[in-house]
Copies of this chain bind each other. A is one copy, B any other.
Amino acid sequence: MKNQIRELRLKHNLSQQDLGERIGVSRQTINSIEAERYDPSLPLAFKISKFFNLPIEEIFYS
């Protein structure tokens, strides 16, 4: 599952560490999702979606 997290994160001028802290996960989790090593859980997808104030469908897609 692809995602726009890296682009959104950079647009907000945040490091992976920053974003992880804001959302409540480790920087490795952010890194792994950006690298598509795995998909986030639904609750984490919601946190990311709310943080960037965008619907899940605009951040994650096939």
Residues of A near any B CB (own CB < 8 A): 1, 39-43, 45-46, 49, 55-57, 60, 62
Contacts and interface: CB of A to CB of B under 8 A. Distances in A.
A61 B55 CA distance: 12
Nearest first, the 5 closest Cβ-Cβ pairs linking A and B are A39-B42, A56-B56, A42-B45, A42-B42, A40-B42
Given A56-B56, A56-B57, A39 B39 contact: no
A1 to B, nearest CB: 6
Nearest to A56: B56
Contacts of A62: 46
14 contacts: A1-B42, A1-B43, A1-B46, A39-B41, A39-B43, A41-B42, A42-B42, A42-B45, A46-B62, A49-B57, A55-B55, A55-B56, A55-B57, A56-B57
